[in-house]
Structure 1
Amino acid sequence: MNPLLKAEQAVLGSVLIEPGQLDRLDWLAPDHFQRPVHRALFAALRTLRKVGHPAVAGERSAPSLSWVTDAVDEAGRHVRGLTAAYPHTLISACPRSEHAPVYGRMVLEGAIHRSVTEHAIRLHQAARADALLGEVEGALHHADVLTEVLGDLARRWGTEPRPVAPVPVPVTAPLAPSSVRASRAAEDEQFLLAVLAERPGAVDEVVGWLRPDDFADPAHQQLYRCLGALHHRGEPIDRITLLWEAQRRGLLADGTLTDDHLTAICDGVGAGSAEWLGERVIRSSITRTAGASARAVRSLAENEALAPGQLINHALHALGPLDDVRIRWQTANGRSATTRAAPAPSPAQVHAALIRSTSLPGPPASSRGGSVPTPASARPPSRGHG
């Protein structure tokens, strides 16, 4: 049994039985339906209402034959495989037509999970492509698109989009780069560290925007931390002081750094532009971070137990590390850091929240003991829904 399929059938059946239910589903769009036949049929029903079909104005307790047949004819112009008998299947799949907004919420919830999954996959693909080309624009563009989608879905669901860390925070394995990309990134990191260790003042060129986590190799991360510590204390930097700092941190004793690592850095080519090499390192960091964020968002979206509000806010939190490295990359390139502001919500996009926050009638307050609970209309729209 597929609950999402049942919900799509039920919401369509409720509108076929009672066309006036469309007035309570303005926040639901055809694209929110998973099956193409359902998308076409819901679009057809909205079209018939827009042109003023006679069944829309009437008060009927039973389906109007013309309403059903005209909907099939209109939908059949845009999709194949819709038979005249299928609307009757939809009508029989609807337990109660007055529950249409609840069925619509179920459809919207499935659409939210599906949409977030699709955009996370696109971000992951763009990150992998950029990593091969040494670019970052594609990954950053798709990250912006995903953020905008999350904001739009939040407003449709009736909640405020804000980053919230999941509890517990899922552990995402590092993106496994191809051997070509890994070797190229390792070379850039080695060259950069060699320049920083050998050329006086080179650390000043990158310390303001390059972080240890931007290095893919854990040993290189630790060496950059050693260089940063020496720079912070105002001590001289060369291969001997770097080796001494590594020993003081226990990196030689615990095997974090080996003779091969130190030889590759200290005996490497120490000439070149630290700023240029640092930009190459941070570019690789952007694509790695984008890939990791995309996989974290996809993992969240594939968790059907997450309510839409929780999914959206956790996904925004998963994109946070990418925003951080983006800002530092913009600083490295002399660009002003930009932050994305969510557009103001439209009143037409909060009907789902109103449906969700409307409480069922209960017994009078005098018949209940204890304190009087807060009315549903006074609660934040996201309470109980992530």
Structure 2
Amino acid sequence: MDALFKGEQAVLGAVLLDPAQLHTLSWLEPTDFYRPAHQALFAAMRTLSAQERPTRGADGSVPLSWVTDTVSEAGHRVRGLSASYAHTLIAACPRPQNAPVYGRMVLEGSIHRTVTEHAVRLEHIARTDAEQHQVDDVLHHADFLAGVLGDLASRWGIEPRLILPPTSRRIATPSAPQVGPEHTEDERFLLAVLIDQPAAMAEVYDWLRPGDFADAGHGQIYRCLGALHHRGEPIDEVTALWEIQRRGLLADGSLSREHVESLFGGPGAGSAEWLGDQVIRASVVRTAAAAATAIRALAESEAVAPGRLIGHALHAFGPLDDVRARWNKAVRPPQAPPPEADRAVQVTAALARSPTPAISRSTALPLPDTAAGLPTRRSRAAGHP
């Protein structure tokens, strides 16, 4: 027995029994219904209501024409509807006055389906573009999903805010795909450059993090190189190996000697900044795929209420926002402030474009004595989508 299917039938049956209930369901859309026949029937009801068809007889009863006209109008949108199914809907409604509650069930199912649909699309785009590191397309779909979450929050009647999922109720997510050696070549080349060129670490240290590496071992080696750079110590094969050993990465099996030796003595040629950009681009795409996978798992769980689903989904975008900000810092470095002479010219030009008209004393209105005690109006900042 499908509760959502029964809820959709109950909503439609309630409106067929009492057309006035349609006004209490103004927030419900035909697309919120899962089955095309139900979408067509609800759209037909709204069309007939907008045309002000008579829904009550002289004695206050609902005329039979309300049912037959609804089925006829819906038949223009979908095939196979009959008057017998309308009577099935009427029989499926326990109490017409509970129509808003039934409608809330329909909207809840629609929210879960909508989030699932967009999360699956984002996950597919991220995994498809993983080879080419197409960051812009992935981020566009991520922003679109965030906007959808904001719209759904408004429809559900809540503010879009981040909600941390409790650890006791974590949703199981599908395992991430294995990263092959062909996906980590840029990481190996980058580490070789950082070890061979002492000044190269300064090019990526501010925005590249160990978690951006697909290979966990590469991330550990980068963490060691970053520690040497942070302490102001020289970076070469000997100091890097010493830092790796003193952190116990070889003893606990986090790194193998073959893994480490493959990076030492290799071709340390290339641009650390360019290689680092390739690494963080791949990190953006992987993080977007992971966020989409987590959001899809949340949306597919019927135990998660819509408000929590939206809040948990927005929270799942947190890691993506972090790596996205660092990628923007890498590809769009801050510009140096203009010289003082150029700045003065810019200020003068700006003032010339927007002159302030002078106010004569004769036309100026006097300020009341109580003006200081009046409250000021504050603008409301728009929330995150």
Give 1:188's match in structure 2, choosing from 186, 189, 200.
186
Unaligned runs of 5+ in 1: 345-386
* Mapped contact 1:8–1:107 kept (Cα < 8 A): yes
The superposition leaves residues 15-74 of structure 1 with CA deviations (integer Å, 9 ceiling, x where unpaired) of 11111111111111111000000011111111111111121x768765421111111111
* Mapped contact 1:33–1:39 kept (Cα < 8 A): yes
| TM norm structure 2 | 0.84
CA distance in 2, matches of 1:257, 1:191: 17
**2:130 aligned residue:** 131
CA distance in 1, matches of 2:333, 2:155: 34
* Mapped contact 2:171–2:298 kept (Cα < 8 A): no
**1:236, distance to aligned residue in structure 2 (A):** 0.8
**1:278 aligned residue:** 276
* Mapped contact 1:16–1:67 kept (Cα < 8 A): yes
Percent identity over paired residues: 60
**1:138, distance to aligned residue in structure 2 (A):** 2.3
The superposition leaves residues 317-365 of structure 1 with CA deviations (integer Å, 9 ceiling, x where unpaired) of 11211111111111111078xxx96479xxxxxxxxxxxxxxxxxxxxx
**2:364 aligned residue:** none
**1:173, distance to aligned residue in structure 2 (A):** 6.0
**1:68 aligned residue:** 67
The 5 A counterparts of 1:143-158 are 143-158=142-157
**2:266 aligned residue:** 268
The 5 A counterparts of 1:156-235 are 156-168=155-167, 169-170=170-171, 172=173, 175-177=176-178, 182-235=180-233
The superposition leaves residues 222-280 of structure 1 with CA deviations (integer Å, 9 ceiling, x where unpaired) of 00100111111111111111111111101111121112211221122111111110111
**1:352 aligned residue:** none
**1:237 aligned residue:** 235
CA distance in 2, matches of 1:163, 1:292: 17
**1:185, distance to aligned residue in structure 2 (A):** 2.3
Give 2:290's match in structure 1, choosing from 289, 292, 295.
292
**2:83 aligned residue:** 84
Code of the aligned partner of 1:121: V
**1:41 aligned residue:** 41
Which shows bigger deviation, 68-77 or 99-108?
Answer: 68-77
**2:376 aligned residue:** none
**1:253 aligned residue:** 251
Give 1:306's match in structure 2, choosing from 273, 298, 304.
304
Code of the aligned partner of 1:37: A
CA distance in 1, matches of 2:249, 2:54: 80
The superposition leaves residues 86-132 of structure 1 with CA deviations (integer Å, 9 ceiling, x where unpaired) of 11111111111111100000000111111111111101100011103
**1:12 aligned residue:** 12
**1:322 aligned residue:** 320
Code of the aligned partner of 1:152: D
* Mapped contact 2:173–2:297 kept (Cα < 8 A): no
**2:27 aligned residue:** 27
Aligned-CA RMSD value: 1.9
Question: Does the residue aligned with 1:266 lie in a helix, a strand or coil?
Answer: coil
Change (3 A) 1:283 1:171: farther
CA distance in 1, matches of 2:156, 2:270: 53
Question: Does the residue aligned with 1:268 lie in a helix, a strand or coil?
Answer: coil
**1:51 aligned residue:** 51
* Mapped contact 1:172–1:292 kept (Cα < 8 A): no
Higher-Rg structure is: 2
CA distance in 1, matches of 2:71, 2:259: 70
CA distance in 2, matches of 1:43, 1:343: 32
CA distance in 1, matches of 2:61, 2:295: 44
Question: Does the residue aligned with 2:130 lie in a helix, a strand or coil?
Answer: helix
* Mapped contact 1:112–1:308 kept (Cα < 8 A): yes
* Mapped contact 1:17–1:64 kept (Cα < 8 A): no
**1:111 aligned residue:** 110
1:98 aligns with 2:108: no
